[in-house]
Structure 1
């Protein structure tokens, strides 16, 4: 492919990748970045190597909206194996305990599972990207170090029971940001008295996105051409990924002021909330924060 700029192309937008299993989120990001020859890229909502499914890849200035995407709900398809506890809470780790599960009926499994629906407190796993004194917990875990983690509030909006057969529990789960499905499966196993770990995990929903809207990397490769035209056609504008944030169109003077980082006055009032800002040509300028007094302060600008 032609690469006239050694630093990459200055492109902006979001690619909805269907990440394959066995690949870290960062490895998937780097593959997409190289394929698009993008100057800058980042991902939002990391997935474990074990997990597949929706991984939004932000190119160029779209990386500025990544933090806003993280606030949205997620949906997962998961299979958990009862009777075995893993040190990583999934099948990539070492089985550290086995307990009988054969005596459990489907009704008992369903009852225990449904008890986690709603607002719960969840202890994050050691094998996670959360940090302690700047050090990711998974790095400490690999050194055999375990630290105390505080339980955090999360919400399990829906738990749809699919099946329970031969010790394998299959669920469809909708949850809030910050929820660890590995921890949820372990907690279900602990409640049943037999332990459990994840053997399959797929993110099927991310905010308003369904996994059917994503594209696999192998299909991206098939679109690659010297002029990148077919690849660029699948890049989504950043503002389309934020449907729950209100739009506000600015006049020319307001647009100029906001571009210079100035707080502006508008004719809207209400509780403090974030807004998407557009100029009169409907060019997306970025994210602002609307205050009760009708002023808008810039938060993340694309200019």
Structure 2
């Protein structure tokens, strides 16, 4: 007997940002696809992967908001991590197989832990985990690792602004991390464990915020499903933020109607006070029209135009 097929999702144009509280057990892409089907969004993307083990803030971009995903991907982020001393795993977290177990040194103090954390702050060289989404030869490292291939994970320069011990409970350490784009918390914990001589791996990881969303109102998948069932699609859409919310940290320049029309045609526009190298061009109502680059002569050139910037186009969908 055939299982009844789920009705196919009828997608629709939808623009905006959702601050998803990603559950543990899903990859970022799996979470994205579930949310995209729930909202029936024709186009969607996320802004920086979280491991399946991790929870917390995963900004989801729908429609025209995907044009700012790259800016959010490079934003600063904050995490709460729980590490366990005494064991290393092949993934550097609790989802992996244990490679080695070592005793935690007797008498290890908070000063010893601080000494291990100190070199991991600032602008540092970090080796990515072997099980990561970084690509070599066009293929993610985790795909090669799963095949048992020998892999030399790349070393990259990353920025770690804050790395501090919040609490210690035996071999379990609670850590707070604030860092730049591309930083692997699993690698920080792995390297801390090696400096302590006993190894360590991540057992819980939660992303607290991503700039510019420092105090985010996040939505869980189960809550979104319940909202749709009880209150309908309009209530679901009310959870979305406008694209402008994701551009709060960038300077803006307001264009008059003629300049906005010209920019919508892709034509550079001259402004008297150039705000910065990268800015947001807005119309008189404060609606973002484009992400622009600004040269030292005050010329704005569109880097990413939003669809509604074109003369005669409708506003954001949704």
TM-score (norm 2): 0.89
1:264 touches 1:295 (CA, 8 Å); kept in 2?
Answer: yes
Aligned-partner SS, 1:145: coil
Partner of 1:264: 269
Q: Tell me, in whole angstroms, the C-alpha distance in 1 between the residues paired with 2:9 and 2:241.
A: 24
Q: Tell me, in whole angstroms, the C-alpha distance in 1 between the residues paired with 2:278 and 2:253.
A: 10
What aligned pairs does 1:139-158 form with structure 2 within 5 A after superposition? 139-158=143-162
Aligned-partner SS, 1:213: coil
Is the deviation greater in 196-205 or in 144-153? 144-153
Q: Does 1:70 align with 2:67?
A: no
Q: 1:193 aligns with which of 172, 175, 197?
A: 197
Q: Does 1:233 align with 2:227?
A: no
Is the deviation greater in 158-167 or in 40-49? 158-167
CA positional deviation for 1:51 = 0.2
Aligned-partner SS, 1:280: coil
Q: Does 1:116 align with 2:158?
A: no
Q: Does 1:22 align with 2:25?
A: yes
CA positional deviation for 1:212 = 5.0
Q: Tell me, in whole angstroms, the C-alpha distance in 2 between the residues paired with 1:100 and 1:132.
A: 35
What aligned pairs does 1:173-192 form with structure 2 within 5 A after superposition? 173-192=177-196
CA positional deviation for 1:101 = 0.8
1:80 touches 1:197 (CA, 8 Å); kept in 2?
Answer: yes
What aligned pairs does 1:218-229 form with structure 2 within 5 A after superposition? 218-224=222-228, 228-229=233-234
CA positional deviation for 1:247 = 0.9
Superposition RMSD on alpha carbons, in Å?
1.7
Q: Tell me, in whole angstroms, the C-alpha distance in 2 between the residues paired with 1:240 and 1:212.
A: 11
Partner of 1:214: 218
After superposition, give the CA deviation of every residue in 1:86-124 in whole Å (9 maximum; x if it has no partner): 001101111011111142233312321233222211011
1:270 touches 1:292 (CA, 8 Å); kept in 2?
Answer: no
Q: Tell me, in whole angstroms, the C-alpha distance in 2 between the residues paired with 1:26 and 1:201.
A: 18
